[in-house]
């Protein structure tokens, strides 16, 4: 596969959220504001790309018995790097994201891509796969958060779109709305993209 | 070789040393920046909680007081050492006279502890202003307690209504929905989707104001 095909497969054809149903917890938790989703997405892209790259480099020497421990350690190290970088250089955003940056470590997408792709392919392809999977994840987060922020707060990226006449939909701010929106998104994609019949 | 007993242990050890080393370097190089930012933020929060009172006394504006940080902080804020209180305490001074106090307080939120700074009148009965130092609430839900409309509800509130009582001296306030309009002074708006966090903030303020008042009521600072 070419690099472009690897990217497109990871980002769309085999998208982690709508195709593999991975990373759902964070997709539900951080999508009430678009800025949170974007930063979370960027953190995942960075961690995923570099973790995949590193895991792929050492794949020939990694003993099978400890491979998951090694993968978790590498993922955790990159996530902590993201956390330290945000605290030192973008403290406001670091504060907004609160505990979610640390939770990237537990994001199933990272372990999933490390196990399914990085441990069997070359470092460059693995990095492209990581970026693709991260971009696909970020796009889903942004789509869900767009509707949740728009109807829940009347704004997009914190900029007020609706005037004073708008009554915020409280349900959109709460977690259940993410379930509905994610389900609708998966239904639309399955029907129109994968042509899945009920 | 990969299947030997020692190889996985040695391999794991090498990986740990490499990544722990990278993280140590990264942390050590970023630490001064993180600490400087934390100190500046903390001092600005203290100054912010007493800025309105300072503006009232000095006839400067709150904005000009905040803009002249760190000079304004060095001129008007002094840290106090109060044995037994177990909370950091500061006083705001103008021409050697104390015009307000500021205390670091803490409480339990939904996911973890919350820390805040409250400024009080010199008799410790009225909460002048407050600012949150840290909280671990849900971003977009409980974390909205940092929004100004929520915090503004507590400004200039008399918390110690019955100063003669030795037990609960704090006033009673109740929460209403965010979209409702308060019918009286005792009603406060809670953050939608964050009932427990909103209640936790009020509980923290009640408990801490109660403690501070009871501890300092008969002491001269």
Q: Is the pTM of this model over 0.90?
A: no
Note whether B61 contacts A: Cβ–Cβ < 8 A.
no
Residue B105, pLDDT score: 95
Note whether A88 contacts B: Cβ–Cβ < 8 A.
yes
Note whether A100 contacts B: Cβ–Cβ < 8 A.
yes
Chain A residues with CB under 8 Å of B26 CB are: 81, 84-85
Residue B90, pLDDT score: 96
**How far is A40 from A141, CA to CA, in rounded Å?**
9
**How far is B52 from A94, CA to CA, in rounded Å?**
29
Q: What is the mean pLDDT of residues B80-88?
A: 91
Q: What is the mean pLDDT of residues B91-95?
A: 93
Q: What is the mean pLDDT of residues A22-45?
A: 85
Q: Name B197's bridge partners.
A: none
Residue A134 pLDDT more than 70? yes
Residue A198 pLDDT more than 60? no
Q: Label residue B91 by pLDDT band (50, 70, 90).
A: very high
Residue A103, pLDDT score: 75
Q: Label residue A167 by pLDDT band (50, 70, 90).
A: confident
Residue A98 pLDDT more than 70? no
Which H/E stretch holds residue A187?
helix A175-192
**Region at A4 (left for phi over 0; alpha for psi -120 to 50; beta for the rest):** alpha
Residue B165, pLDDT score: 67
Q: What is the mean pLDDT of residues B68-88?
A: 93
Closest-CA distance, A67 to chain B, in angstroms, reads 9
Neighbours of A159 (CB within 10 A): 8
Specify whether the CB–CB gap between B183 and B194 falls below 8 A.
no
Residue B1 included in any domain: no
- Helices (H), ranges, B4-161: 6-58, 62-67, 71-76, 148-152
- pLDDT tens digits for range A56-97: 999 988 888 888 999 999 999 999 998 898 889 888 778 766
Residue B71, pLDDT score: 93
**CA dihedral over B189, B191, B196, B198, signed as positive or negative:** negative
Residue B74 pLDDT more than 60? yes
Is B140 in Cβ contact with A61 (below 8 Å)?
no
Phi, psi of B208 (to 5 degrees): -75, -40
Q: What is the mean pLDDT of residues A144-168?
A: 90
**B168 lies in which domain range?**
6-216
- pLDDT tens digits for range B159-172: 877 766 666 656 67
Q: Hey, of B20, B24, B139, B198, which one would you mutate to test binding to chain A, going by the most A CBs within 10 A of its CB?
A: B139
Residue A196 pLDDT more than 70? no
Which H/E stretch holds residue B189?
strand B187-189
Q: What is the mean pLDDT of residues A147-174?
A: 88
In chain B, how many domains are there?
1
Contacts of A40 (CB under 8 A, 6+ apart): A26, A30, A97, A100, A101, A104, A138, A141
- Residue of chain B with shortest Cα separation from A175: B193
Residue B74 included in any domain: yes
Residue A5 pLDDT more than 80? yes
Q: Label residue B42 by pLDDT band (50, 70, 90).
A: very high
Chain A residues with CB under 8 Å of B41 CB are: 91
Residue A2, pLDDT score: 87
Facing residue for A70 by CB, picked from B3, B12, B143: B12
Determine whether A155 is exposed, middle or buried from the number of CB atoms within 10 Å of its CB (0-12, 13-18, 19+): middle
CA angle B66, B67, B69 (to 5 degrees): 70
Is B192 in Cβ contact with A30 (below 8 Å)?
no
Tell me: ipTM over 0.90: no
**How far is B39 from B159, CA to CA, in rounded Å?**
29
Residue B107 pLDDT more than 80? yes
Contacts of B124 (CB under 8 A, 6+ apart): B101, B160, B209, B212, B213, B216, B217
**How far is CA B139 from each of CA A34, A98, A173, B213, rounded to the nearest angstrom?**
12, 7, 11, 33
Q: What is the mean pLDDT of residues B178-203?
A: 89
Specify whether the CB–CB gap between B145 and B132 falls below 8 A.
yes
Spans of all domains in chain A: 3-192
**How far is A195 from A188, CA to CA, in rounded Å?**
10
Supply the DSSP symbol for A103.
Answer: G
Is B19 in Cβ contact with A29 (below 8 Å)?
no
Specify whether the CB–CB gap between B175 and B188 falls below 8 A.
yes
Q: Label residue B79 by pLDDT band (50, 70, 90).
A: very high
Specify whether the CB–CB gap between A10 and A132 falls below 8 A.
yes
Q: Label residue A109 by pLDDT band (50, 70, 90).
A: confident
């Amino acid at each position: 596969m070419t690099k472009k095909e690897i990217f497109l497969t990871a980002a769309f054809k085999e998208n982690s959220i709508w195709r593999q149903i991975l990373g759902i917890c964070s997709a539900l938790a951080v999508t009430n504001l678009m800025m949170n989703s974007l930063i979370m997405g960027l953190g995942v892209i960075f961690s995923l790309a570099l973790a995949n790259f590193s895991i792929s480099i050492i794949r020939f020497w990694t003993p099978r018995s400890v491979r998951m421990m090694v993968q978790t350690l590498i993922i955790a190290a990159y996530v902590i790097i993201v956390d330290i970088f945000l605290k030192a250089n973008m403290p406001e955003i670091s504060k907004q994201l609160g505990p979610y940056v640390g939770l990237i470590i537990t994001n199933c997408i990272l372990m999933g891509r490390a196990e399914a792709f990085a441990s069997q392919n070359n470092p460059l392809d693995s990095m492209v796969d990581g970026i693709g999977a991260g971009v696909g994840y970020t796009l889903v987060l942004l789509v869900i958060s767009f509707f949740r922020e728009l109807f829940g707060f009347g704004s997009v990226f914190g900029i007020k779109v609706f005037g004073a006449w708008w009554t915020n939909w409280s349900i959109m701010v709460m977690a259940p709305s993410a379930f509905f929106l994610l389900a609708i998104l998966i239904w639309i994609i399955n029907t129109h993209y994968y042509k899945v019949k009920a | 070789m990969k299947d030997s007993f020692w190889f996985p242990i040695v391999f794991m050890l090498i990986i740990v040393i490499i990544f722990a080393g990278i993280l140590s370097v990264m942390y050590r190089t970023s630490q001064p920046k993180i600490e400087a930012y934390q100190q500046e933020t903390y001092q600005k929060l203290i100054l912010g909680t007493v800025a309105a009172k300072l503006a009232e006394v000095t006839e400067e504006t709150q904005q000009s007081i905040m803009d002249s940080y760190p000079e304004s902080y060095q001129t008007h804020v002094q840290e106090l050492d109060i044995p037994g209180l177990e909370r950091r305490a500061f006083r705001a001074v103008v021409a050697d006279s104390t015009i307000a106090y500021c205390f670091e307080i803490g409480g339990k939120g939904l996911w973890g502890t919350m820390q805040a700074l409250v400024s009080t009148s010199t008799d410790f009965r009225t909460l002048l202003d407050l600012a949150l130092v840290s909280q671990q609430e849900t971003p977009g839900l409980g974390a909205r307690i940092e929004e100004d409309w929520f915090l503004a509800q507590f400004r200039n509130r008399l918390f110690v209504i019955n100063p003669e009582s030795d037990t609960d001296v704090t006033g009673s306030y109740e929460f209403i929905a965010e979209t409702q309009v308060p019918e009286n002074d005792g009603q406060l708006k809670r953050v939608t989707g964050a009932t427990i966090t909103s209640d936790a903030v009020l509980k923290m303020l009640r408990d801490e104001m109660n403690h501070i008042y009871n501890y300092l009521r008969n002491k001269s600072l």
